[in-house]
Amino acid sequence: MSDPEKREEAPIPLVAPQKRGPMTRLRNYFFTGLVITGPIGITVYLSWTLIQLVDGWVKPFLPEMYNPDTYVHMEVPGVGLIVALLAVTLIGFLTANIAGRSLLGIGEAFVARMPLVRNVYSALKQIFETVLNEKGQTFTKAGLIEYPRRGLWAIVFLATNTKGEVAAKLHTGEEMASVFLPTTPNPTSGFLLFVPKSQIIELEMGVEDAAKLVISAGLVNPEYPKKLGVERKAKALESQSVDAE
């Protein structure tokens, strides 16, 4: 009989790693390529569509001597877009002086006499002035509110303080804010809500990061600035200690 101490222990069988089949690898390659090419393709498509749309509007008004297509015998994309940008800038320059403002006032007075057009023009002008106002705080912050019920939270974009009749009729006893609640995955549609400021939790992330979070349905999360949060807590503790002294 052989010595049991000299017996060699049988090696423990290792579980062989599962090999991925060719179809699994092809599927993974496909989705990887889709993640890379999808955003690029959509961006190029939207940009090209916008250029062609503006070119189709502007080029018919260009004289042949100023149209590059006349000389190169081929369509030059982007000419209409460049001309439109220059024209808008020139109009802004002309209306910045007294003569331009006078002509603009005459035109607005004429439009104000047209029953249906004046309502559309007035609403659009107010929206553009509010959104493009450099000193305004329109959509510069993102926040969280409880919606559609308590315990559920939704991202909103802070528009402005609630004003006018809405603010006068809301007897809440505190300052109200007008916020825009976007839908997923299309953030251009949503709901206008009037919420007490005390019920809004402002976020550190910017509006662009919040929009990415909404569009991706929570898949794209911006990095949380933990350092900033720690610094704020330290400052809060310092202020409390100073007040206590």
Domain with residue 214: its CATH number is: 2.30.30
The overall longest dimension of the chain from CA atoms, in Å, is 118
Domain-embedded: residue 11: no
For residue 239 the two structure tokens come to 């202020």
Q: What is the pLDDT of residue 125?
A: 78
Domain-embedded: residue 22: no
φ, ψ of residue 120 in degrees (nearest 5): -65, -45
Measured in whole angstroms, how far is the alpha carbon of residue 219 from the centre of its chain? 16
Looking at the fold, whether 98 and 57 belong to one and the same domain comes out as: yes
For residue 158 the two structure tokens come to 């802070």
How many Å apart are CA 179 and CA 159, to the nearest integer?
5
Q: What is the pLDDT of residue 81?
A: 86
What single-letter amino acid sits at 78?
A: G
Element of type H or E holding 55: helix 22-58
3-state DSSP call for residue 144? strand
Domain-embedded: residue 170: yes
CA geometry: angle 173, 177, 179, nearest 5 deg:
145
Q: What is the pLDDT of residue 2?
A: 47
Q: What is the pLDDT of residue 1?
A: 46
Looking at the fold, whether 155 and 209 belong to one and the same domain comes out as: yes
Looking at the fold, whether 199 and 164 belong to one and the same domain comes out as: yes
Range of the domain at 183: 141-222
Domain-embedded: residue 7: no
Looking at the fold, whether 90 and 146 belong to one and the same domain comes out as: no
Looking at the fold, whether 117 and 162 belong to one and the same domain comes out as: no
CA geometry: angle 97, 98, 100, nearest 5 deg:
70
- Please answer whether residues 196 and 176 qualify as being in contact, where contact means their C-beta atoms are separated by less than 8 angstroms: yes
Looking at the fold, whether 118 and 187 belong to one and the same domain comes out as: no
Q: How many residues are present in the chain?
A: 245
Q: Which of 66, 98, 124 is the last residue of a domain?
A: 124
Domain-embedded: residue 6: no
Domain-embedded: residue 154: yes
Q: Which of 124, 155, 176 is the last residue of a domain?
A: 124
- Please answer whether residues 190 and 172 qualify as being in contact, where contact means their C-beta atoms are separated by less than 8 angstroms: no
Domain-embedded: residue 59: yes
Looking at the fold, whether 145 and 110 belong to one and the same domain comes out as: no
How many Å apart are CA 144 and CA 152, to the nearest integer?
10
Domain-embedded: residue 15: no
For residue 171 the two structure tokens come to 């007897």
Looking at the fold, whether 153 and 188 belong to one and the same domain comes out as: yes
CA geometry: angle 48, 53, 57, nearest 5 deg:
145
Peptide bond before residue 185 is cis, with ω within 30 degrees of 0: yes
For residue 225 the two structure tokens come to 């600035």
pLDDT tens per residue across all 245 residues of the chain:
445 455 555 555 554 555 667 788 888 878 778 777 877 888 888 889 988 898 888 888 888 888 888 888 778 888 888 888 888 888 888 877 777 778 888 888 888 888 888 888 888 777 777 666 645 556 778 999 999 988 999 999 998 888 888 888 888 788 899 999 998 888 778 899 999 999 999 998 888 889 888 888 888 888 776 545 555 566 666 666 655 55
How many Å apart are CA 94 and CA 102, to the nearest integer?
11
Looking at the fold, whether 116 and 145 belong to one and the same domain comes out as: no
Q: How many domains does the chain have?
A: 2
Q: What is the pLDDT of residue 74?
A: 77
